Structure 1
């Protein structure tokens, strides 16, 4: 059974990608910060597609967030065939309005966690006949 891992899956583009992959036969692991939203989205997708739809609430701004996701997959025999790095956000308004920590958190989600997740899952994806990585990013 192919599995897809989608970050930023609780709404917007991430949710739409999760719905699309489930409709194409993928089981899912949805990643986002909000357990309430993830639980609702997982239930909606499961009801619509009957696919296995797991979720894990993780704040990807944390230093060990990518490792937490990877370890969960390893511990649950969840072999990822598709990795969708969709989580990300921007800070709007004057630069000085935000603390150094707020800027660091944004960079961690948008760049560091994406890179770490890709490095952690890439060996397993390369061992498969068809493994995919989709990185979604925006910078202004």
Structure 2
């Protein structure tokens, strides 16, 4: 196996992995968006978590469900802007009616970030596959 094949294997696998992860995230987000309910919530505080090699502050949001239950839960902000939500700010929350702890922030930036990452992953694996096919075609 020549080094060329190994060089194309890395972006191919990276692209497939990115597509799988971002595709799953996008489908789950759209499922909650289509079947869930929307509520207006207030950011009450932040909780710090350690992701990879850096710490991230996730907003803790309080909202009231349609049934009248008050819920306070940390939510992941996938908008791409760290510490963007100050305490006391109003946010739109999408939640599942039977399980309000399964909620997410309703953010158009999160949707566009997932679509961008999905397009990037597709470009990686498609570009690698094209390079391999061109190499095979030129060797025939």
Question: If the TM-score is normalised by the length of the shorter chain, which range does it land in?
Answer: under 0.3
- TM-score, normalised by the number of residues in structure 1: 0.27
- TM-score, normalised by the number of residues in structure 2: 0.27
Task: Name which structure has the greater RCO, CA cutoff 8 Å, separation 6+.
Answer: 2
